[in-house]
Amino acid sequence: MTRRIVVDTDTGIDDAHTLLYLAGRPDAEIVAVTSVFGNCVEPDAARNIAYVNRLLGLDVPIARGAGEPLTGTAHIAGYVHGKDGLGDVGYDRPLPETTGESAAELLVRLGREQPGELDLLALGPLTNLGQALRIDPELFTRYRSVVLMGGSGPYAQPGELLMVDANINNDPEAARAVFSAPRNELVMVGVNVTATTILDEVAINALRAAGTPVARFATEILDAYLDFYQNEWGRRIIPLHDPLAAGILLDPTFATASVDGPVNVRTDGFLARARLMRTHDGLPPAFPYQPAPPTKVITEVDAARFVADFVEVLTR
């Protein structure tokens, strides 16, 4: 079965990889793409969508979205993805023609026009989704599923630390609206699992050796990302954050364990995370929490099988 997907993206390096992956999968059809701030400023996210679409020969509607969170100021991750979001390689990236709607308006219109037929894949801060829910509080019931890259899973075992939950931290208010909204299915693919899905030196060399336009672009944009992540592991390797969310949307068996339950967005005073309201051993947390409809929270993945699929798709 082909999944018809609307992609909401703050088009940085792993977002671009995700678009390449979706376009290379025979069971995926990209229906529309919307831009949001995050990995880069929103105009660059829109430019990057258009650049990747041209590379792929993909002609789909693009709508421009939020340049800042619902409240507060935007945090832009240029130190991770390069100032332009694609590693500052120097591509010619004119602004795209758009539908004339906001991203939120496009998400609402497509959901109403094609109820139950589309999947929504959210790869950046959830601001566009939060704005769309203000227009249509039943929005997520109109999509077959909503899959998002964000969140931190259940509470970790004592002594275990996680990567920053950037997409949630960039707009906690929008994230709270998303996790409390009625839905058909909401799937959270968080940093608890994406950080384990590593594109290592062997896989990166396989991409470099492929020589196809897609594989060449995928490796050209990697240096800024590798520069950042070498500080995490002492090796020039990267996690496949956003691509894993796309993989699980298309093939749920990439997820080997999940828990359905309420997700709250909570802050420690510095950073916000979306958490399943369970400890690592399945118990409720030691504090009161807000009730919420169940979210499918991915807790374990077959990282090796997904990475192999990702490399195979991008090197065809």
Closest Cα to residue 90, out of 217, 237, 227? 217
Task: Report how far residue 281's alpha carbon sits from residue 34's, in angstroms, rounded to the nearest whole number.
Answer: 38
Task: Report how far residue 232's alpha carbon sits from residue 229's, in angstroms, rounded to the nearest whole number.
Answer: 5
How far is residue 39 from each of residues 44, 67, 163, measured CA to CA in Å? 9, 11, 15
| 241 given a catalytic annotation | yes
Q: Coil, strand or helix: which one is 66? A: coil
Element counts in the chain: helices (H) and strands (E): 13, 12
Please tell me which residue in 17, 75, 81, 241 is annotated as part of the active site: 241
List the alpha helices (DSSP H) in the chain: 13-24, 42-56, 78-81, 103-113, 127-135, 166-169, 172-180, 191-194, 201-210, 213-220, 222-233, 241-250, 303-314
Task: Report how far residue 132's alpha carbon sits from residue 229's, in angstroms, rounded to the nearest whole number.
Answer: 33
Closest Cα to residue 118, out of 8, 252, 254? 8
Identify whether the C-beta of residue 307 lies closer than 8 Å to the C-beta of residue 203.
Answer: yes
* Spacing of C-alpha 215 from chain mean position: 20
> What residues are annotated to the active site?
241
